[in-house]
Structure 1
Amino acid sequence: MQSLAAKLTFDLTSSGEVLVSLYSSLLDQIRTQEMAAFKQPQKRRQSSGQNSSRNTRGRAPSVATSTRSDTTSGSRYAASRRSSAGSSRSQASNHATPTPGARLERSASVASSRTFNGISERQAATEPPSDGLGLDEDNLSEVIMAVNMLPRGLVGCAYYVARDEKLYFMEDVKIGGPDVIDALKLFIDPTVVLVSSKCVDEVFNRLDPETRNARASVDGRSGDQTRLPYLLECRPNAEFGYEAARNKLVNLRMGQPTGPKVTFVVPGDIVAHEDISTNLEGGFAGRQGQLLRLAGWINMESRITVGCAGAVLSYLQRRRVTTYLPGDKAAASMFRVGTVEMFSLSGSMFVNADTLLSLQITSTECHPNAQNQGPASRGWSSGGSKEGLSVYGLFHYFARTSQGRLLLRQYFLRPSLNRAVIDERLDTISVLLRPDNASLFDQLGEMLSKIKNIRLVTANLRKGISSGLTKSRSVSTSVWPTLREFVFYSLLLYDHMTELAGGEGLAIRAKILQRFEKQQLAAVGTLITVVVDFEATREQRRTVVLAGVDGELDEIKRTYDGIESLLHEVTNHIAGNVPAELNAKINVIFFPQIGFLIACPVEADTGAGVFEGPINDPWEKMFVTEVSAYYKNSNMGELDERFGDIYGRICDKEIEIVQELGERILEYEEALHDVSDICGELDSLVALAKGAKQHNFVRPRLTDENIIKIKGGRHPLQELTVPSFVANDTYLVGGAGTEPGAAPFINHSPQPGHDGSVSEGPSMVLMTGPNYSGKSVYLKQVAIIVYMAHIGCYVPADAAKIGLTDKILTRISTRESVSRIQSAFMIDLQQISVALSLATRRSLLIIDEFGKGTESNDGAGLAAGVFEHLLQRDAESPKVLGATHFHEIFEAGFLQPRPSLSFAHMEVRMDTQASQVDDQITYLYNYRPERSTSSFGTICAAMNGIEPSIIEKADQLLLLASKGADLVEVCAELPGAELAELEDAETIAREFLATEINECQPRKLVDDLVTLASSTDGAS
């Protein structure tokens, strides 16, 4: 008997003829199936009680002949439900005998860490749909971070990415602080955050500002978690212990057993002889051996970080215990730690939450569909929120794969300081946007849209979920079509990348050509194509094996198809014993797991069948439906004994074959994951290229010089909301440094300022001018252009030369909240304090109207002090863009002119003769050097509906203030009407005092006073 393994086995290192044949066959079969999808399917023939030749694929139920239930798993529960509803499927006669084949042979080279836990499809029929792809997508989306900070500022952090099965460590930060916690939170973007119960209070305040000093319970979670973008848990400090964490790491089994096997045992290690052979699978035996192995990957001396890793591993173990029953082998595939790696923040630009919010890099808003609204977190809800108006939002919808969208978001949250990485991305975008690659560029997006996240597929395959078919999920989204489509379009993508004009030096092209194992991909596609019958799978909604794969299975199917004619003869035989006067229509039906049954009509009065067998041999009633009663007799018993549950045997046999197919596919798991990750990287780069083309961005020039030179810069979001946008230039030069090697994150950079490569220019530009003239938009657009350049993305400008910038620090927006005890001005001070403490000569500071939240003299003094402090750094001065309305700091000479300080304003045009207030000022939004002397605040007030009398009074006070008048004295002067009233009152009082009350009559005195008051009122 010819085996399938013999048919599929070929030498992967032999000549390429076999590969080309298999590859061509795979392409032809997939193209044929895709073309057939557009054609109208033929109508199925209905059974009419006659013998008809049919195959085992789905057919309509028959009344006159035997039927079998349309169940995908063959479970007794599913069969009984369908049988009670009268939904059955008719049997078919024999068809042509296919070429016999043998079952799939299991490969002996399957790695021990790659297991395939088969789950019977007959059992899967009773499982809820939520055990399919949806739950695994949530699990794979989780990022668990543990962080701890000691009172002296020692910070450690470890996090686990479920999608990559990697546990990441960082070096302990010796002199850290709460700002490091914020940076880690933004860098990792976790879904779960674990903190120690003995962690300093400031960490809790940063992770959950609303609770402040209120701690979460040790074994529970803090209150209302829906207000946070992650799940915050406070765990006992014992889970962060160094020794316990080291023991957990020692027990991990990671990597593949390659190379020589070494037994490393020291005194104190108790290892039995049988344990040595087991531990050899990991390469070393014994505790010390495993510690040596770990020390080759991570720094075990970072005690705080190692303790955080132990807390992460404890959390993963708790999740496994609560998800699976004890002894379930599938638990090993959930949250498995495949590798450990070190990570560092030094290779990324430092940005905090204030910067991301102020520049609108990312923005999450509530989903407009009320049914999809929920917590904005991947781990909680896949559709609870949507991307709002943001810089990332300009690109993310161009990404076609889930892994590509995830990587693209990481690009925007982690701007790089590695020029090689940035230039690689920019070079790729440049090649993709070449005119001669236009057609190929469009095809790449279409091909990438067909490539799914293969890590999710293999995760389900390891658990034995091979179909994933439900009422709401079609066969096209199950494992086998997804894998076959992935292989096809990956190979197609390989061919297209070879045709990419000008792409010879691209890193992504080299990855595809070198790491796309065409032979292995073709082998995976061929395995699936020659085993799975996709047409029958679509009809029967379960994985069906093609004819010719297994001879025993083919024989059972032929017998099953031939039962129909046999049942027709048995039906005629039984019907002959039924009295003719009953005129009863008797059928013989087969139900999986129930067997062969006699069906006859039911009497409406009694609820029993019209005929229940001869008196000497009565039939045994099995069950009754609304229209039929089902019985067994000796003939049915003979059929049951001869054929048994033949449909169940077919399902069981196909399940075994499919399970072995899955084991064979998992041999190529690492290659498939590698291809999937590379496709995600290409997808993110294609999204950046499409966004650049859509919005007319240009390539920036990255340089080691500490300079920002932008020509025709634009704000990428503002220009989408206005009919026309006025572009402006920017020129800033940071400090040259006081010593060689002043930029530690640039190993190869020439020192600017020492070789004359950097031109002279200001390190600080202060902008003044009217409100609503575009100052804030200008400040933000410069910061956004610098930010996008470090992502490796094209920028909104005519040209841009950007020096590497280690930090972008902003004081633009104030995030006030009733849960924060700080006032708006105190929040402004905290932002400035962070900026001043972190800024280096390579940093960019954006300061917009600092000091406006307090008394004007104090605010002006603080603003002048901050600007003067930054200017006095000289060679270590950062690049600063500021805006202020405190003109007194210039007029009083608090900021002396110097080459490093420049002034500018946004141009406006005044027309004092205009009758309408709106026509008195025209905003031109043009960047102009020199300082503006007025903010035109009263005109802005008039344009926004303030009363004219208020505007007039304000203008008078401004004029007097400009002349140096005492405003207190001016405001103390009384108006003319009030002054006349006081004079009248004084006249009445004096007349009253001059009257001799004792000498006159009281009545006459009152009349005289009234007369005097009347005459005074009349005179006034």
Structure 2
Amino acid sequence: MTKLTPMMKQYMDLKEKYKDCILFFRLGDFYEMFFEDAILASKELEITLTGKNCGMEERAPMCGVPHHSAENYISKLVERGYKIAICEQVEDVSVSKGIVKRDVVRIITPGTVIDAHMLDEKENNYIMSIYIDESGIGIAFADISTGELKTTEFTQNKCMINLLDEIAKINPKEIIINTLTYDEYNLKAEIAAISTPYIDVFDSWAFEKAYAIKKIKNYFNILAIEGFGIDDKNHSIAAIGALLEYLQKTQKNSLSHINNISFYASDAFMILDKATRRNLELTETMRDKKRKGSLLWVLDKTNTAMGTRTLKKWVEEPLKDIHAINTRLDAVGELKENIFAREDLKELLKNIYDLERLVVRISYGNANGRDLIALKNSLEVLPKVKSILSGLNTSKLKELLSTIDVVHEVKDLIEQSIKEEPPVTIKEGGIIEACYNEELDELRSIVTNSKVWIANLENNEKTKTGIKSLKIGFNKVFGYYLEVTKSNLNLVPQTYIRKQTLSNAERYITPDLKEAEAKILGAEDKIIELEYQIFIKVREEIKQFTQTIQSTASAIASLDALISFAEISDRFGYIKPTVNNNAIIEICNGRHPVVERTMHSDMFVGNDTFLDGEENRFSIITGPNMAGKSTYMRQVALISLMAQIGCFVPAEKASIGIVDRIFTRVGASDDLAQGQSTFMVEMSELANILNNATKKSLIILDEIGRGTSTYDGLSIAWAVVEYISSNNLAARTLFATHYHELTELEGMLEGVKNYCIAVKESNDDIIFLRKIIRGSADQSYGIQVAKLAGVTDAVIERAKKILIQLEESDINNKDFVIEPQDIEEKEGNNVVCEEQISFLSNQNENIVKELQKINILDITPMDAMNHLYKLVKIAQNKGA
């Protein structure tokens, strides 16, 4: 067998330990990849694939990337769902015997990214752990770039639905699960239907309760877990323990910035499933998945990255606690009215960097000098922020004021130790401020004085030798030298020692010059090493304030989000809603927050809404397409949601009874990847609504039953109205339909009321008035809408004729036939218009057989009448 080279054996040993990773193997100034990793990386990164002699018969496939720009390449691979193992030299080359020792120092996965350039500053980057057994489900998720760690569990019915709702909300970039969960519960397929995270099957033993408790205690250095409020949350404990094990195994570094566990009950927030988040376009649009055009796009006027992330969380997690909602609303109201304080705060916040991620990089040990300066500049702003907040009165703002700590110790330490404009790297010197360290100042003095001494030496040698062109230079190979042109070689003293010959000059050294060189170079090397040590010490001192800075960052982020709400409320004329625990949703002149922002010429027409749990709990809305039914229904849902995140709403008046869940079934879409048709998707979403809605839910249904035949669809829609409006559910519901037959249910079913979109007719044209009024529409104006949409005139005119025939005929009559369109035969064309053969033509088989028996050339008139009579009788019998 061919013997591998020592370096390649080292590589193969490490690769065996990290089979599921692309191994970035450090060789000098490059990270090299070999074999399958090289082939894969060269394709994904579009870099050259070469080869290397590794002791085998054939050269090993190889590719590489420079270590100084490796982050860009790693980022591309991680974005595409690969795990990267970073292998570095872990011993000093100068003291190593044989091949230098290397080891994997970190594993970068989609959910463990911490480098700023690889993260979206507007998004959290979550990794989630899931534990499932027959009695329940536990989840834990963390963003290691901010230090957040949260957990919850489900032990009641419908656990899987709750889990999928949480995944849709959290949108983790990576999920770890144990083998049993992966295999037995088919979780991969369930998750794939709502999200696209990287799924990692992790060691089952890490999820065992006893081990998980031990891991939590050791990680947080505590004797008991009761302080986190999870001692009786067995499923959460299992998920947390496995997550911490995974993070420590991959990061191989201190994770002290993850210093708390926050348990939450999922029912503390309004629950929004994936369909509702998509249909309401909360954070991205349905069509192109862009932020612009979503609710978040309208509401986000934040000034910091952490404020943006916080506001997004609020949008995704509407509150149900009235006190918490009203404290936010009160704060927004005060900031809205106090425009001078709001404007001053906005300007100050623009100078605050991403404190959450800055402090994590410091704690993690990969912050540079510029990160510390950014932290210092941010902390300098905080006293002014506190000064303004001290003049405001609402409880939420006072709470934020008390949480913000200006951390003078950290600001002063950085100000004294770090230069205002430090270099990017921390190992090349030039980073520590003068007068901070006495030893460093002495070394710098030696370097400075020695260089002055060398400059004086050059002048003295010129005078002493008479060589006016003599100069002292330096390079990394020979150090300092005296250079003399060849025309002056006769003047060189015997004490000069020749070191190098050039084409037009000679280079010399002297004992005094070499002695000065040793002092200078020795001092410069010591300066670089000492500056690095000082910087690490400063960074470690700041690390002690991690929790304080994290709390301050959280308060600043919340303040930023509240200011954003106040800003858009003031700018767009939003009003403070009343939020209570009754069942009434009453909105006066409500507007769709997104649609009105995207309208350029027309003024948005506001509409009223009144829903309760009694006589007005179910609204059937009829009217033509494009008239605004879907916009109206969505705006009711969005206004309710905005109220519960603590934001003012687009209306003249609004009273919102707490909504526990919003359900939407809007529009039609296939899910071909899952093998589901439009109608199957519609029915699946409908089933979810009927199985999970409560009396406190808000249901938005648009065109239920339109994906199948008329009678099937009408029957389903009718039954749905009966079920939801009855005491089986009695949920507040808006139901848009083109089945005008459903309007008969007003008066037949308790709580059902008819509404329609007002339309003005003018000859064959219609004008949408966009106004919801009591009553029902008597037609859908489909042909007029088709005309407005630009359908060709020939189709429009033909449709009108068919509509007249339909309206004049009894459509239930079996003899009903649409008259075929007359088509003139044109020159060169042989066009024949035939009626479509009935799918039920086999029912006329006896008549056809009877006709085939007749010889029309050999029958009398009386025979013809008898045959006709017989055929009529056959037809009548068929009809019976």
Please give the range of the TM-score, normalised by the shorter of the 2 chains: 0.7 to 0.9
Residue-by-residue CA offset, 1:862-910 (whole Å, 9 max, x unaligned): 1110111122217x511011011112344xx566535511001001112
Partner of 2:274 in structure 1? 353
- Quick one: distance in 1 between partners of 2:670 and 2:697? 26
Give the drift of 1:788: 0.9
Question: Which residue identity is paired with 1:940?
Answer: V
Q: Distance in 2 between matches of 1:954 and 1:613?
A: 114
1:318 aligns with 2:223: no
Query: In the alignment, which of 359, 371, 374 is matched to residue 458 of structure 1?
Result: 359
| 1:698 alignment partner, SS class | coil
Equivalent pair of 2:352/2:381 in contact (CA under 8 Å)? yes
Please state whether the residue corresponding to 1:170 is helix, strand or coil.
strand
1:804 Cα offset (Å): 0.4
For residues 346-403 of structure 1, what are the alpha-carbon distances to aligned partners after superposition, in whole Å with 9 as ceiling and x for unaligned? 1100111111111111106999xxxxxxxxxxxxxxxxx852310011122x112121
Q: 1:389 aligns with which of 293, 296, 300?
A: 293
With over 3 angstroms needed to count, the CA separation of the structure-2 counterparts of 1:166 and 1:719, relative to structure 1, is closer
Alpha-carbon distance between aligned partners in 1 of 2:520 and 2:800, rounded to the nearest angstrom: 104
Quote the Cα distance in structure 2 between the aligned partners of 1:674 and 1:975.
75
Which residue of structure 2 aligns with residue 665 of structure 1? 542
> Aligned match of 1:686 in 536, 551, 563?
563
User: Residues 819-853 of structure 1: CA distance to partner in whole angstroms, max 9, x if unpaired?
Assistant: 02122111111111111111111111111110000
Q: Give the deviation of 1:960 after TM superposition.
A: 2.4
In the TM superposition, what whole-angstrom CA distance separates every residue of 1:256-281 from its partner, at most 9, and x where no partner exists?
A: xxxxxxxxxxxxxxxxxxxxxxxxxx
- Verify: 1:907 aligned to 2:758, yes or no: yes
Contact 1:172 1:302 in 2 (8 A): no
Matches within 5 A, 1:114-193: 134=116, 141-150=124-133, 152=134, 154-193=136-175
Indicate yes or no: 2:198 matched with 1:231: yes
Separation of aligned partners in 1, 2:547 and 2:821: 88
- Is the CA contact 2:148–2:258 (under 8 Å) kept in the aligned structure 1? yes
Pair 1:442-2:343 in alignment: yes
- The verdict on how the C-alpha distance between 1:366 and 1:803 changes in structure 2, with shifts beyond 3 A counting, is closer
Change (3 A) 1:866 1:537: closer
- Does structure 2 retain, via aligned residues, the 8 Å contact 1:698–1:797? yes
The answer as to 2:515 corresponding to 1:515 is no
Give the fraction of aligned pairs with identical amino acids, expressed as a percent.
21
Change (3 A) 1:136 1:825: closer
The 1-side partners of 2:752 and 2:692 are apart by 21
Relative to 1, partners in 2 of residues 1:630 and 1:908: Cα closer, same or farther, differing over 3 Å? farther
Residues 307 and 561, structure 2, Cα contact 8 Å, conserved in 1:
yes
Q: Matches of residues 684-723 of structure 1 in structure 2 within 5 Å?
A: 684-722=561-599, 723=602
Say whether 1:496 aligns with 2:388: yes
Deviation at 1:629, TM superposition (A): 7.5
Pairwise CA distance, 1:409 = 0.6
- Indicate the residue corresponding to 1:921 in structure 2: 766
Is the 1:942–1:951 Cα contact (8 Å) retained in structure 2? no
Aligned to 2:659: 805
Deviation at 1:717, TM superposition (A): 1.7
TM-score of the superposed pair, with normalisation by structure 2: 0.74
Mapped to 2, the partners of 1:836 and 1:694 lie a distance apart of 39
| Contiguous gaps of at least 5 residues in structure 2 | 1-66, 68-90, 93-104, 825-831, 836-850, 861-880
Aligned to 1:247: 214
Contact 1:143 1:159 in 2 (8 A): yes
Indicate whether 1:572 and 2:420 are aligned.
no
- Per-residue CA distance 1:733-790 (angstroms, 9 max, x = gap): 025xxxxxxxxxxxxxxxxxxxxxxxxx411010112222211111111111111111
Residue 884 in 1 paired to residue 737 in 2? yes
Whether 1:596 aligns to 2:517 is no
* 2:234 equivalent in structure 1: 303
Cα deviation digits, residues 403-425 of structure 1 (max 9, x gap): 11111110011011011111111
Kindly indicate whether the alpha-carbon contact (under 8 Å) linking 1:596 and 1:636 is maintained by their aligned counterparts in 2: yes
- 1:416 maps onto 2:319 in alignment: yes
Among 828, 833, 842, the alignment partner of 2:682 is 828
Q: CA deviation at 1:610?
A: 7.9
Query: 2:679·2:708 contact (CA, 8 Å) conserved in 1?
Result: yes
1:343 counterpart = 2:264: yes
CA deviations on 1:269-327 (whole Å, 9 max, x unpaired) are: xxxxxxxxxxxxx4xxxxxxx3xx11342434443333222331232133124xxxxxx
- Cα distance in 2 for partners of 1:208, 1:602 equals 78
Distance 2:282 2:157 in 1: 29
1:945 is aligned to 791
Instruction: Quote the Cα distance in structure 2 between the aligned partners of 1:456 and 1:190.
Output: 18
Alignment of 1:601-616 (within 5 A): none
Q: Which aligned pairs between 1:758-769 and structure 2 lie closer than 5 A?
A: 761-769=615-623
1:399–1:684 contact (8 Å) kept in structure 2? yes
Match for 2:317: what amino acid?
R
Secondary structure of the corresponding residue to residue 252 of structure 1 = helix
Q: Distance in 1 between matches of 2:484 and 2:387?
A: 63
Cα distance in 2, alignment partners of residues 411 and 683 from structure 1? 12
**Inter-partner Cα distance in structure 2 for 1:690 and 1:488:** 25
d(CA) in 1 for partners of 2:631 and 2:420?
57
CA contact (8 A) 2:213 2:237 kept: yes
Change (3 A) 1:599 1:364: farther
Separation of aligned partners in 1, 2:390 and 2:641? 32
| 8 A Cα contact 2:285 2:292, kept in partner | yes
Q: In 1, are the aligned partners of 2:136 and 2:156 still within 8 Å (CA)?
A: yes
1:484 and 1:208 mapped to 2: Cα distance?
A: 43
Higher Rg: 1
CA deviation string 1:587-615 (max 9, x = no partner): 22467997533345699xxxxx9899767
C-alpha separation in 2, matches of 1:702 and 1:638: 82
Contact 2:275-2:664 within 8 A present in 1 as well:
yes
Secondary structure of the residue that 1:339 maps to in structure 2? Answer: coil
Higher relative contact order (CA 8 A, sep 6+): 1
AA matched with 2:389 = M
> Residue in 2 aligned with 1:553?
440
Instruction: Give the deviation of 1:649 after TM superposition.
Output: 3.2
- Give 2:284's aligned amino acid: S
How far did 1:700 drift? 0.9
What is the aligned partner in structure 2 of residue 25 from structure 1? none
Cα distance in structure 1, aligned partners of 2:822 and 2:441:
113
* Equivalence map 1:950-969=2 (5 Å): 950-961=798-809, 964=810, 966=812, 968-969=814-815
How far apart are the structure 1 equivalents of 2:161 and 2:365? Answer: 45
Name the CA shift for 1:233/1:548 in 2 (closer, same or farther; >3 Å). closer
Displacement after TM superposition at 1:685 (Å): 1.0
User: How many angstroms apart in 1 are the aligned matches of 2:758 and 2:420?
Assistant: 68
Tell me whether 630-639 or 307-316 shows the greater mean CA deviation. Answer: 630-639
Paired with 1:441 and 1:860, the residues of 2 have a C-alpha distance of 54
- 2:638 pairs, out of 768, 778, 784, with 784
On the 8 A contact 2:620/2:735 being kept in 1, the answer is yes
Q: Compared with structure 1, are the counterparts of its residues 771 and 668 closer, same or farther at alpha carbon in structure 2 (3 Å cutoff)?
A: closer
> Displacement, 1:460?
3.5
Alpha-carbon distance between aligned partners in 2 of 1:700 and 1:132, rounded to the nearest angstrom = 40
**Residue type matched to 1:908 in 2?**
V
Question: Cα gap change, 1:544/1:780 in structure 2, threshold over 3 Å: closer, same or farther?
Answer: closer
- State the TM-score, normalizing by the size of structure 1: 0.64
Give, as a single letter, the amino acid of the residue that structure 1 aligns with 2:343: D
Structure 2 counterparts to residues 811-850 of structure 1, below 5 A: 811-850=665-704
- Give 1:832's aligned amino acid: L
- The reply on whether 1:872 has 2:726 as its aligned counterpart is yes
2 CA distance for matches of 1:593 and 1:346?
A: 70
Letter matched to residue 210 of structure 2: E
Judge conservation of contact 2:671–2:678 (CA < 8 Å) in 1: no
Does the CA contact (< 8 Å) of 1:497 and 1:509 recur in 2? yes
